[in-house]
Amino acid sequence: MPATLPPTTWANHHLEWGRQTYVMGIINVTPDSFSGDGIVEETLTPDEIVARAVELARHYVAEGAALIDVGGESTRPDFAPISVEEELARVMPVVKALHASLPGEVLISIDTYKAEVARQALDAGASMVNDIWALRRDPAMAALVSERAVPVILMANMRGYQKHEIVSDVVRFLAQSIDLALSAGVAWERIIIDPGIGFGTTPQENLTLLSRLGELHALGRPILLGTSRKSTIGLVLGGLPPSERVEGTAATVALGVAQGADIVRVHDVHEMVRIVKMCDAILRGHL
């Protein structure tokens, strides 16, 4: 296992690295999630959508999730971007309801690359920002994260990126985004990195990243791994649909934890919490 990093602390929150692996449950407030888990449907009223999100989040927490990640825009390949206004309309009622409904120790993450969405979500009770463009899409995002003194997840996004060798490409991308964050005044201890499995990467590149995930420890920051139900798993397992990729996801989670992943972002919280607990008991002696 890699060397233990100092904890990340902010407001009244605390993430202790190296002792256990945290599980982040996914709530997609979208109609077009790649995994088929988006909770927006034409037949549901806005209040019903919020109620469904709260129910799902409560299940996640009861099953062992420490973080809940709320996103309002699909990130599937060839997704259609939505406006700031539409994204706010989707996520804000959910963030407010989760903040009012969940225990205070549960962290709410806002999955967005738009600074205005992040700002309003943080005002409404979100505790951290998950930026799939690693501060590169919206110039105001780095300053916002710095001003609010919250953690930010920087994800390597290879869409449109000139690749050479995938692991070194991802390390270089993340190192540059870390520099962007630090230059804006984001505290070093509040930066988390994500290799961006499936974001502009081929199936073979995804497998390479997973097999060499430990090399990202050279950047000195906690690692979030998001492989849940992704297409590479379906491909390896003979074309399985997203709903049947639980075992494949479990394999990537277990191998990721073995290489020092600190957070795993998943749809199937119940199963992955069990995987993580077993891995942590073996690797970290955490019972």
Structural domains of the chain in order of their starting residue, each with its CATH number: 19-284 (3.20.20.20)
Helix (H, G, I), strand (E, B) or coil at 227: coil
pLDDT of residue 75: 77
What is d(CA 3, CA 5) in angstroms, rounded to the nearest whole number? 6
Helix (H, G, I), strand (E, B) or coil at 131: strand
pTM over 0.75: yes
pLDDT of residue 33: 55
Average pLDDT per consecutive 10 residues, the chain (287 residues; last block may be shorter): 88 95 96 59 84 96 98 80 95 98 97 98 98 97 98 97 97 98 98 97 98 98 98 97 97 98 98 98 88
Active site positions, annotated? 230, 265
pLDDT of residue 35: 47
pLDDT of residue 42: 64
CB 275 within 8 A of CB 250: yes
Distances (CA, A) of 27 to 46, 80, 86, 135, 283: 15, 19, 17, 22, 29
pLDDT of residue 74: 83
Residues 100-154: pLDDT tens digits?
A: 999 999 999 999 999 999 999 999 999 999 999 999 999 999 999 999 999 999 9
CB 209 within 8 A of CB 166: yes
Please give the DSSP secondary-structure letter assigned to residue 66.
S
